[in-house]
Amino acid sequence: MNFKKLVIGSGIRMLSEGITIGTWGNVSCRDTETGLVYLSPSGMPYKELKDDDIIVVKTDGTVVEGCRKPTIETSMHLAIYRSRPEINAVIHTHPIYSTAFSSMGEDIPLFLDEAAQVMGDVCRTAKYALPGSEELAKNCVEALGSKSMTCLLQSHGAVCLGENMEQAFGISTVLEATAQIYSLIRSMGGKYLPISQENIAAMQYFVKHCYGQC
């Protein structure tokens, strides 16, 4: 697989799906064979990126390839990979509804079947810290915990994980749809009906072991 092209294509995909604007957000993926991480560069338009613009690093931050300055959130991406060995793709997005909840410091619960199936756990809002700081990386990892595939960064946007890039984007779509529905419920003066932990566990088992074709 060409991981550099995957990062470039994923940045363009974030723009086309309306989950970021301009040069905001960032993308990374990990090669499971080498353990190397491929990162989008800082402040460069996604549609203008070339393979040589992608930075390749070890999980300790050592640069292996590339002369560009990597995304400001490099420490956050690497901290996620170090803490979650099953994760091989991370996208940091700026979707409207999810960011609205992040700006209130609120979590997004698993009240939809789709969210319960793929998001792993409640989408928690990480405590505020300056973009690019080690503190933000620490707060993000803490909000994700050992199970969640999503978290919000207070006043900043969303982070979605995946075992691969396609899964990360799918989860991003579910997160934003859940945030939008949550917003509608609250604007109607209602309250969501919770799904039991037993049913959440049953759905997650089904998706992991039974859903789809053999």
The answer to whether the beta carbons of residues 54 and 2 sit under 8 Å apart is no
Active site residue 142: no
Amino acid type, 201: A
Where are the extended beta strands (E) located within the chain? Answer: 26-30, 37-39, 55-57, 63-65, 89-93, 124-126, 150-153, 157-162
**Looking at 73, 86, 134, 163, which residue is catalytic?**
73
Q: Is there a contact between 20 and 96 (Cβ–Cβ < 8 Å)?
A: no
State how far the Cα of 11 lies from the Cα of 45, in Å rounded to an integer. 9
Centre a 10 Å sphere on the Cβ of residue 160 and count the other Cβ atoms it contains: 29
Residues with a known catalytic role: 73
